[in-house]
Amino acid sequence: MTIRRYTLPPLLLLCFTVVTRVVCSPDGAPTRACATMTPFHGGGIPPQPGLSPYSVVARRRGGKVHVSVGSALGVPIAGIMMQARTPAGEVLGAFEAVDPDHAHTINCVQRSDTVTHNSPEEKDHIDVDWTPPRGYEGPVVFNATIAQAYDTFWVGQSSPVLQYTSNGQDDLLPDRPFRPPSLQPTTYTPFFNRVQQQTAFTEFDSFYNGCGSTKLCFGFPEGCVQSKGCTAAVAVTVIGDRYDYELKVDRSDAIWVAVALSEDTKMGDDSVMSCVKTNRGVDAYMEWTYPGYRVERIRNAQHQIELLNSSVINGQIYCRIRRNAVTVVNGKTFDQLRDTYNLLVAAGTDLKPNSVGYHTIGKAASAEKRSLADVSAVSGASKILVRLHGSFMLAAWIGTASIGILLARYYRQTWVGTTMMGKDLWFAWHRVLMVLTWLLTMAAFVLIFVELKAWSAERNPHAILGTITTILCFFQPIGAYFRPHPGTSKRPIFNWAHWFAGNAAHIVGIVAIFFAVKLSKAELPDFFDYIMVAYVVVHAITHLLLSLLNCISDKSSESRVSSFPMKDIGLGRNSGYLDRSLDAPFSPLRRLILGVYIVLVGALLLALIIITALAPIEDTWTNLRTSMKSNN
């Protein structure tokens, strides 16, 4: 065998070996470069026209193809973008980085079909594994763009054509058999025409390819499949008696994503397929749900399913699972060929010892049972009861209770001589507002139990605080109905008890609303807290101003103000000003403060109810804008 020596001109060799340290794309190639594989460096620096010092070597190993990129001259690599293609230019297969510190995958046409660098730090070589599409046999070429520096890169570096067969033998080539530059093939054809090459692909996600035409897709938040922006989603592809489930969750903190086949929109007696992030990648399991949000992994959890493909990209989980058409789980038969099911999609951030944890990221159920072969659009189950629960509680404790408590505490000596239904005006409105508070609270409490049909399983004190608020609220009007007459010995006891229970219910109710922001089912944005804080500030300032006015009234009239219950709570309604026929001092100012308070709190309450009713409002707004753009 004759070994030929290849020599390079000294100047060319110097260009190859002397590396200029200039920053390339710091996080790898963007998806807008998918079509041309040409970086947009410096506003359009052209690629190098001459020989490349690099080579791309592909060899079969254990059913996969191991691809190495490097230089026989020892020239380091700053950046890379590589795809596997047929000779006709079709992108196919999926990559997996051998060393995650050097490279990661991105999605151009299909998931993980392109590999790029992690950072512009110099690398001696980059190794990746490539898996062909299921059942594929035929030629494959690995095309790469390789950067030596920011302004020095080669586009279209290609490996020799590899004939892939499922039963082929492993190649016996040594590790990284890089070749001299003069032997490098450079054939490369962009897979889009010139107009399409100018299109950005930053919003492209191949997961949604075929949704509504070849596969059934469902996820959350509502409408996310149409906008291609699901937090978590499932896609079901049916080919004959094969049922393939794709699952994804686009949250870097996600630990698991799952889909359940259910007879209704609630958890309980459902068959679950979960994809769980592990140290070695992603594992798939069969699990079972019980009423009350309890989930357990079944025995032989991987027996009736097959994990076809999976990846963890930037912490986001993707997997493809094949499930037998007919399975028996916990003694229950699931016949996907003949029966219809609701789909339940969920994702979370923690695990239990033998199952997935609570769906802290979110959960959605399809509105109706359907055949999994039906690829038409799927709508989510109604969340109206949850939205009404939240809206009623907000109206009760931010709105009616706040104003009612204010009236009872500071306005007993205002509007003197004016009555409604035979009662002093402040008392009549106090009673109306507190009755509304009672009705709204009781209705909200019933609605949430109708929705959940169980106690909340979230590790959040909201449910406990809400129950305490409801109990205190429930007994308030009963106690008021049996209150002793003014002047009797037990009247002071009632006054203190009524005051304490009412204020305790109000405070606990407000705290419960703050905790509701973190509930996955509520789907409230973080800025909800800021509006709540604004309410607390308005409420506190109003109390402070009215208390100061009472103190000034005390000093100026040298008498006590009956509207200040911390002083006169045990003395009944006949205490206070010597002349009960006149309004207390500063009554016009107090009425002005009340008017401003009602306007401000009303505006904040309206904003809170709108956010709750339209939750998740950020996704609702995004989907609306996407729909408007598509209509235009």
CATH number of the domain residue 520 falls in: 1.20.120
Is 376 inside a domain boundary?
A: no
Question: Residues near 178 by Cβ (< 8 Å), separated by ≥ 6?
Answer: 54, 55, 57, 68, 70, 71, 72, 125
CB-based burial label for 485 (10 Å; 0-12, 13-18, 19+): exposed
pLDDT confidence of residue 434: 94
How many CB atoms within 10 Å of residue 607? 14
**How would residue 479 be classed by pLDDT, with cut points 50, 70 and 90?**
confident
Q: What is the pLDDT of residues 199-219, one digit of tens each?
A: 333 344 678 888 998 899 999
Report the chain's mean pLDDT, rounded to a whole number.
Answer: 81
356, 427: one domain = no
What DSSP element (H or E) covers 507? helix 491-516
**Single-letter amino acid code for the residue at 629:** K
Would you state the structure tokens that stand for residue 33, as one six-digit string?
């470069």
Tokens at residue 213, please?
């035409």
Same domain (yes/no): 411, 328:
no
Residue where one domain finishes, among candidates 319, 337, 365: 365
Q: Are 218 and 233 in contact (CB under 8 A)?
A: yes
State the CATH number of the domain containing residue 85. 2.60.40.4060
b/e per residue 117-126 (b: at least 16 CB within 10 A)? bbbbbebebb
Residue type, 331: G
Among 478, 406, 471, smallest CA distance to 441 is for 471
Residue 596 confidence (pLDDT)? 97
> Sorting pLDDT into bands at 50, 70 and 90, what band is 236?
very high
Distance CA(433)–CA(398), nearest Å, equals 12
Residues 212 and 188 in one domain: no
Q: Are residues 187 and 212 in the same domain?
A: no
Note whether residue 373 is domain-resident: no
Tokens (6 digits) for 34: 């998918």
Residues 170 and 291 placed together within one structural domain of the fold:
no
With respect to residue 630, please indicate whether it lies within any of the assigned structural domains. Answer: no
For residue 48, what are the CA distances in angstroms to 83, 117, 120, 153, 533? 19, 19, 18, 6, 59
349 within 8 A of 361, measured Cβ to Cβ: yes
Give the range among 127-141, 268-282, 312-326, 573-587 with minimum mean pLDDT.
573-587
| Residue 396 located in a structural domain | yes
Q: Which two tokens stand for residue 627?
A: 């729909």
Same domain, 231 and 182: no
Residues 192 and 227 in one domain: no
Report whether pLDDT(18) > 50: no
Structural domain for 180, as ranges:
10-197
Query: What mean pLDDT is predicted for residues 506-533?
Result: 89
Tokens, residue 439: 């009705």
Looking at the fold, whether 185 and 211 belong to one and the same domain comes out as no
Which of 197, 230, 251 delimits the end of a domain?
197
Per-residue pLDDT, 185 = 45
pLDDT tens, residue by residue, 398-418: 999 999 999 999 998 888 888
The verdict on residue 580 lying in a domain is yes
| % pLDDT > 90, the chain | 36
Which of 197, 220, 251 corresponds to the end of one domain?
Answer: 197
Q: How many domains does the chain have?
A: 3
CATH number, domain of 326, equals 2.60.40.1210
pLDDT at site 177 = 65
Phi-psi sector, 394: left (phi>0), alpha (psi -120 to 50), beta: alpha
Query: Do both 193 and 212 map to the same domain?
Result: no
pLDDT tens figures, 111-162: 888 999 888 888 888 999 999 887 788 889 999 999 988 778 888 888 888 8
The answer to whether residue 474 is domain-embedded is yes
Residues 144, 243, single domain; the answer is: no
Percent of the chain with pLDDT over 70: 81
- For residue 547, tell me if it sits in a domain: yes
Q: Are residues 182 and 228 in the same domain?
A: no
Interatomic CA distance for residues 90 and 442, integer angstroms: 62
In a domain, 3, yes or no: no
Is the model's pLDDT at 358 over the cut of 90?
Answer: no
Indicate if 14 and 123 belong to the same structural domain: yes
Condensed to tens digits (0 to 9), the pLDDT of residues 598-628 reads 999 999 999 999 999 887 765 555 555 544 5
Q: Does the pLDDT of residue 269 top 80, yes or no?
A: yes
